[in-house]
Amino acid sequence: MVKFLKEKTDLTRISSVLSLFTLVAFHWPFFRLVLGNIEGGFNGVLITGGLGVLMFALNFLIYYLVLFLGRFVGKCILAFTFIGNAISLYFINTYQVLITDKMMGNVFNTRYSEASGFFSWSAVWYLLFLGVVPCIYIFARRFDYGSWKRFFARTGIALAVSLAIALVNMQNWPWIDRNAPKLGSLVMPWSYTVNSVRYYNSVKKQNRKEIPLPDAKIVSDSKDVCVLIIGESARRENFSLYGYGKPTNPLLEKDSVTALIADAAATYTTAGVKAILDHKPSNKLYEILPNYLN
Q: Each residue of 138-195: pLDDT tens digit?
A: 888 888 888 888 888 888 988 898 888 888 887 877 777 788 888 888 888 888 888 8
* Contact by Cβ (8 Å): 238, 231: no
Q: Where are the domains of the chain?
A: 2-205
With a CB cutoff of 8 Å and minimum separation 6, the contacts of 25 are 85, 89, 130
Distances (CA, A) of 72 to 59, 79, 138, 168: 18, 11, 10, 37
- Per-residue pLDDT averaged across 250-272, rounded? 79
Q: 96-113, pLDDT tens digit by residue?
A: 888 888 888 888 887 777
Beta-sheet strands, E only, within 132-281: 142-144
| 63 or 223, higher pLDDT | 63
